[in-house]
Structure 1
Amino acid sequence: MKPRQPTSTLAVLRRLPAPVALAIGILFGILFARVIPWTSPYSSVSRTLPTKAHHHARQPVQLPSLEQRHRVLELLTTLSPHYTKECTKTNRVQPLYADQVTERYNPLVGHDTSNNANAWFPAFGMGSDQDDPAEYLMRTSSEHKYFFAINLYNSFDVIPDLFATLFRVSAVLGYQNVFVSIYENGSTDQTKALLRIFDALTRSVGMRIVIRTSMRTRGAFNHRIEYLAEVRNAAFGPLHELRDTENEYFDTIIFMNDILPCVDDLLELIWQSRRNNAGITCAADYMYHQEMQSPVFYDNWVARDINGTALENAPFENIFHHPDSSQRFQRHLPIQVQSCWNGIAILDPAPFYSPPHVKFRMARITEGECSASECSLICNDYWNAGYGRIMMVPRVKLAYDRRVFDIIHPDRRNLTAIRGYKRLGGLPDNPRSDPQDRSWFGPHDRLFTEEESEPLNFVPGPEHVWCWGWDGAGDLDGPDVDPIWERMDNRSIQTSAVEVRHDRMW
């Protein structure tokens, strides 16, 4: 079955300005959401977290027809101003890259492709016009199951892109293998209203999702890290509820911040996580530096190289102090690190399910633990639990706003051929590492090298890690105590900390 041609009404909608179209979408979504009953405990927006007593056996999800799927997808792409829609646009993709992706990500496909090997690529932007973009949704199950956890706050601007990517990635992984948990709190924009719309749209294509909202905000005297840890743990609620009430387990957790991801960003992180049996796998995120007038690495409060040294808010060749890591970063190769988060983190869920039952937390300050980020602390806890295979994937570059996204995902062009081009840095013997070269920035069709597929050789963690603590409460601009080299637990510096404990490869 081919997709239906747009109706005349739809054609008119596509010519409307984005704000007008989005307003129409909000009105439509509110009406649509009210028509559908919100009775399932795992497909509802609730103001409070339900207790176990409220749970009952999950009703089977009735899959919509192909025509209904196409109508929903048309609505999504017409009424939502996606910043990421050019990521994998068909007419921009190199054929050789499409062939590489077909082979590379085939183990992730959560459906039977025996009748049509490329049926899933329309969702990725690479398929033939003859392929049915919904046929694969009705096929067989995969053994891998994925739990998406997302925290949102005043995220109205990025929600359409988040959900557009979730739809397409879930189509690849298999909707039946995906569960999405979103916890939103304290937003003062229209985030809650937009989430209600996308909740209805998501359920209409057969995805399982729970969206929980709250008016809670961090009070003036609440410890920042304690508050953030509680918010992140709230997004994990359904992970434990599904285990306790329905004996359902997941073998991959994808924790996402309010970023603008492309489909192949998520697929590559999941692929690398499984290829390396990694405890935690991170992307590289960027912010705009006003003085440098260019993007720089962002999350250096959490990220530490394998020597325990903090990464820098700097461009490209100056991010890592560890020489070998710096060389690999500039060649876009995966890197072992002591800790990272960086917008998206893929986690092995085993430490959540079994002792020591890790969770996000604030530092044990009374025991002398440095008051690091809740994300740094969970990396330390993974090391101590024997899941210290933590890695960063530089190929995956993330932005939090359109300004940075457009810079790190430019149109295809050979910058070396532009008159007045001046080299900005990189490795002198490797032009592919020039930060202004197309091989560094996008688009998302840079060919894979053999080295990007080689498994990492993980080594035990460092004895000391640089920590800049945040002890105070209230609205502080940043860490408020003197940085120290903090001694790590002896368990993290043993070879056993990087052994494969949970084989998640293929």
Structure 2
Amino acid sequence: MNKAQPPGLAQQLRRLPAPILLAVGIFVGFILSKVVSIPTSTTPIWRSGHTPAKSRVQSRHAFQAPTIDQRARVLDLLTTLTPHYTKECTRNAQPLYTAQALERYAPLVGHKTPSRTSWFDTLGLGTEQPLRRDAMYSEHKYFFAINLYNSFDVIPDLFATLFRVAAVLGYQNVFVSIYENGSTDQTKALLRIFDALTRSVGMRVTIRTSMRTRGAFNHRIEYLAEVRNAAFVPLHELRDAENEYFDTIIFMNDILPCVDDLLELIYQSRTNNAGITCAADYMYHEELGQPVFYDNWVARDINGTALENAPFESIFHHPDSSSRFQKHLPIQVQSCWNGIAVLDPAPFYSPPHVRFRMAHIMDGECSASECSLICNDYWEAGYGRILMVPRVKLAYDSKVWDIIHPQRRNLTAIRGYSKIGGLPDNPLTDPQDRSWFGPHDRLFIDEESEPLDFASGPDYVWCWGWDGAGDLDGPDVDPIWEMMPNRSRTDDAVQVRHHRELIL
């Protein structure tokens, strides 16, 4: 007879008590989970090989579901990838402006082999002739910093402009850092979409979001300074981890920019080796029934006087500045921000290492805006070459944008002009180009390309502070004339220390 076979492993296991079987199963599962691990991290790896810090926010807050209109808008964005409000910026630009802009911004081109059909064509800046060889490639590095809050409406235009500007400057030369916090609309959801789209075209981007808002007892300027500094975190991470330095910083608010707006600000910043270069921004004044200059809490003329929330002819108190402003010529100012500011990054990298901050109130410093204070710090650091570019007109909503960018009218029938939009030898002969709000394709004049002759800063600057003692979100103390530090009042404060000139 055959001997009985010994029970198999399965049979032996069945004879074990249930608690022991459960313990064995848990042990085996634990071992397998350690041996066969599946990576789940979605942290992106940059082309440089650096892995940025995770910025996910663990929050129990429920996100509001998008509305039907918002869902339709997102679908439209995904299928068209075009700006929403600024798509007509340069689509119908007059040919003479097209030729001027192409020549003007050619030194900014940052790719080695520009094709015959490029983003210049989408700007209305296409050309049939090859670019100059010395302007074919630039290794100038640009760091874009953006703060967003409830910005669902302007994000498509911001990103569409970033795509096109980066294509001109060279994607490899551009890094975009966005810090969003506290939004209650669909800003976070839309940022996730554009994060993926931006990476798909090879542009480096980091988007960090937070549910943080300014509390009832937080000092407004301290809070805003921290939010702005948060957008600068990758600037220092790349320096420390990659030894990567940038040559130009472009700080953007939630505005509606055109492509050539950004290119002009960069052009003026580099032409003048400027510490800070800003645009002019506008808001709608209900009583006057028209747009007026907006950011007068920060902007000061070279005499230290505040600019006015007023129409064209009444913004500047300084006569020479007012004259240049009405001719749309670059102007030296003591401080400005105005929606977009292009900064020389050297003071961020070198002592005294400027950063956004609130005033040292206990030391007697006037509690100015964090943007005013950083302008003061630039003066003290020896980078007081600050200018405003009136040609670049910015709006925060479509109502104002439509007013300050009117359509160019055919003046041939009205004035008998042989050319539309002015004469080549003097564009200012066009009444539209001389008007308060002219068309976006305003022809360039020679004076706009001439570097400014910078003077030392004023002895005193008008400061209307915010101590935060009440519930106001703006100035809440009596304005004063504040004396500026000694260095800002000397010629040394406007000497060129960081050469960023264009190759012409």
TM bucket (normalised to shorter chain) is 0.7 to 0.9
Aligned residues: 429
1:333 alignment counterpart: 329
Question: How much has 1:413 moved relative to structure 2?
Answer: 1.1
Question: Relative to 1, partners in 2 of residues 1:76 and 1:458: Cα closer, same or farther, differing over 3 Å?
Answer: farther
Question: 1: distance between equivalents of 2:225 and 2:413?
Answer: 49
1:359 maps to which of 341, 355, 360: 355
2:89 alignment counterpart: 87
Q: Which amino acid in structure 2 is aligned with residue 382 of structure 1?
A: Y
User: Does 1:126 find its partner at 2:125?
Assistant: yes
User: CA contact under 8 A between 1:432 and 1:440: conserved in structure 2?
Assistant: no
User: CA contact under 8 A between 2:327 and 2:434: conserved in structure 1?
Assistant: no
1:246 alignment counterpart: 242
Residue aligned with 1:238, SS: helix
User: CA contact under 8 A between 2:427 and 2:443: conserved in structure 1?
Assistant: no
Question: How much has 1:39 moved relative to structure 2?
Answer: 3.1
1:39 maps to which of 36, 44, 55: 44
> What per-residue deviation string (whole Å, max 9, x for no partner) do you get for residues 363-383 of structure 1?
000000000000000000000
User: CA contact under 8 A between 2:145 and 2:252: conserved in structure 1?
Assistant: yes
Question: 2: distance between equivalents of 1:385 and 1:107?
Answer: 29
User: CA contact under 8 A between 2:406 and 2:440: conserved in structure 1?
Assistant: no
1:70 alignment counterpart: none
2:479 alignment counterpart: 483
2:176 alignment counterpart: 180
Question: Relative to 1, partners in 2 of residues 1:391 and 1:416: Cα closer, same or farther, differing over 3 Å?
Answer: farther
Q: Which amino acid in structure 2 is aligned with residue 83 of structure 1?
A: Y
Question: 1: distance between equivalents of 2:151 and 2:431?
Answer: 30
Question: 2: distance between equivalents of 1:269 and 1:338?
Answer: 17
Residue aligned with 2:256, SS: coil
User: Does 1:195 find its partner at 2:191?
Assistant: yes
Q: Which amino acid in structure 1 is aligned with residue 450 of structure 2?
A: E
User: CA contact under 8 A between 1:76 and 1:164: conserved in structure 2?
Assistant: no
Question: Relative to 1, partners in 2 of residues 1:231 and 1:463: Cα closer, same or farther, differing over 3 Å?
Answer: same
Structure 1 runs not aligned, ≥5 long: 1-34, 50-73, 132-138, 420-429
Q: Which amino acid in structure 2 is aligned with residue 39 of structure 1?
A: P
CA RMSD of aligned residues (A): 2.9
Question: 2: distance between equivalents of 1:77 and 1:125?
Answer: 22
User: CA contact under 8 A between 1:43 and 1:211: conserved in structure 2?
Assistant: no
Question: 2: distance between equivalents of 1:358 and 1:433?
Answer: 44
User: CA contact under 8 A between 2:101 and 2:125: conserved in structure 1?
Assistant: no
1:443 alignment counterpart: 439
Question: How much has 1:122 moved relative to structure 2?
Answer: 2.2
Question: 2: distance between equivalents of 1:77 and 1:442?
Answer: 33
User: Does 1:346 find its partner at 2:342?
Assistant: yes
Question: 1: distance between equivalents of 2:79 and 2:305?
Answer: 43
Indicate the percent of aligned positions where both proteins have the same amino acid: 81
Q: Which amino acid in structure 1 is aligned with residue 94 of structure 2?
A: Q
Question: How much has 1:431 moved relative to structure 2?
Answer: 10
> What per-residue deviation string (whole Å, max 9, x for no partner) do you get for residues 39-74 of structure 1?
33667972359xxxxxxxxxxxxxxxxxxxxxxxx9
2:9 alignment counterpart: none
Question: Relative to 1, partners in 2 of residues 1:42 and 1:349: Cα closer, same or farther, differing over 3 Å?
Answer: farther
1:63 alignment counterpart: none
> What per-residue deviation string (whole Å, max 9, x for no partner) do you get for residues 363-406 of structure 1?
00000000000000000000000000000000000000000000
Question: How much has 1:473 moved relative to structure 2?
Answer: 5.0
Aligned ranges for residues 396-407 of structure 1 at < 5 Å? 396-407=392-403
Q: Which amino acid in structure 2 is aligned with residue 100 of structure 1?
A: Q
1:224 alignment counterpart: 220
Residue aligned with 2:195, SS: helix
Question: 2: distance between equivalents of 1:387 and 1:505?
Answer: 15
Question: 1: distance between equivalents of 2:434 and 2:457?
Answer: 34
> What per-residue deviation string (whole Å, max 9, x for no partner) do you get for residues 246-300 of structure 1?
0000000000000000000000000000000000000000000001111100000
2:109 alignment counterpart: 109
Question: 1: distance between equivalents of 2:205 and 2:146?
Answer: 11
Larger Rg, first or second structure (1 or 2): 2
Question: Relative to 1, partners in 2 of residues 1:79 and 1:505: Cα closer, same or farther, differing over 3 Å?
Answer: closer
Question: 2: distance between equivalents of 1:209 and 1:306?
Answer: 36
Question: Relative to 1, partners in 2 of residues 1:400 and 1:373: Cα closer, same or farther, differing over 3 Å?
Answer: same
Question: 2: distance between equivalents of 1:249 and 1:113?
Answer: 24
2:273 alignment counterpart: 277
User: CA contact under 8 A between 1:255 and 1:344: conserved in structure 2?
Assistant: yes
User: CA contact under 8 A between 1:110 and 1:177: conserved in structure 2?
Assistant: yes
User: CA contact under 8 A between 1:397 and 1:408: conserved in structure 2?
Assistant: yes
Q: Which amino acid in structure 2 is aligned with residue 159 of structure 1?
A: I
User: CA contact under 8 A between 1:316 and 1:435: conserved in structure 2?
Assistant: no
Question: 2: distance between equivalents of 1:43 and 1:267?
Answer: 29
Question: Relative to 1, partners in 2 of residues 1:43 and 1:79: Cα closer, same or farther, differing over 3 Å?
Answer: farther
Question: How much has 1:347 moved relative to structure 2?
Answer: 0.1
Question: 1: distance between equivalents of 2:196 and 2:427?
Answer: 48
2:230 alignment counterpart: 234
User: CA contact under 8 A between 1:435 and 1:441: conserved in structure 2?
Assistant: no
Question: Relative to 1, partners in 2 of residues 1:156 and 1:42: Cα closer, same or farther, differing over 3 Å?
Answer: farther
User: CA contact under 8 A between 1:341 and 1:375: conserved in structure 2?
Assistant: yes
Residue aligned with 1:338, SS: strand
Question: Relative to 1, partners in 2 of residues 1:474 and 1:221: Cα closer, same or farther, differing over 3 Å?
Answer: farther
User: CA contact under 8 A between 1:43 and 1:209: conserved in structure 2?
Assistant: no
1:78 alignment counterpart: 80
